[in-house]
Amino acid sequence: MTQTPGIAVTGASGRMGRMLIQEITASDKMRLVAAVERPGHDWVGQDVGSAMGGTELGVMVTDDAARAFGQVQAVIDFTAPQATLAFAAEAAKAGIVHVIGTTGMSADEIAQLTPAAKEGAVIVRAGNMSLGVNLLTQLTKQVAAALDMDYDIEIIEAHHNQKVDAPSGTALMLGEAAAEGRGVKLSDVSDRGRDGITGARNPGDIGFTAIRGGDIVGEHDVMFAAAGERIILRHVASDRALFARGALKAALWGQGKAPGEYDMLDVLGLKG
């Protein structure tokens, strides 16, 4: 490639959209080419820099994703499940990298991404884009495999009070890792709600607790609790920019890759 990759950001006005735009414009490895918002949004037709309250960036916010994707080499997408599915179809038509940080996607919705990957999109999807969290995922799998059923597994996550999905995508990613380590399906052992007289904990269950409050960026604990001891693996995010930087790393990594479905473990060379 003779020039730096052009990037489109969907959900440009959102918390992560703004952060991505700031990180891209500060980078010398990529260019901000398009900013996408939903039809009818106040930002559509405005320069995205001005809309963010800063200097003009020469990129107008558009609601035409197909046209925007035709001008770039990658799209970074932290939006909502149904929007992400529509963007995946457009990314496949354009034959570009589609980095997906959208959370709250059901197993059925995730499965619907496969056709786009087969038809031309390089899809890099992860519940969390940070290096530390992906290392934590690997550690969770290894510890779960090493310990027997005497150790109860609980995943505790905390986020800001505006987060709309629970458990978080990262918590579910950690739950999947723990289940894989134990050789079971998370859907068969997941315990996501306790209220009232619930009875004793079912042996082998993987429990989830979601905390919402203030401006917490993201905290995740994986607790292995047995009689007499607890092992706690923990990751604390204090700056949302780390997710943006991970997504940008994924967008660069995907250049020249064959169409297909990948995750951050591929990007970071941790598969195997």
Q: Residues with catalytic annotation?
A: 159, 163
Q: How far apart are CA 168 and CA 103, in angstroms?
A: 7
Q: Concatenate the DSSP letters of all residues of 127-186 into one string.
A: S---HHHHHHHHHHHHHHHHS-TTSEEEEEEEE-TT---SS-HHHHHHHHHHHHHHTS-H
168 within 8 A of 127, measured Cβ to Cβ: yes
- Which tokens is 239 given? 């700056």
- Among candidates 227, 262, 233, which has minimal Cα distance to 171? 233
Q: Do residues 199 and 150 make contact, with C-beta atoms less than 8 angstroms apart? A: no
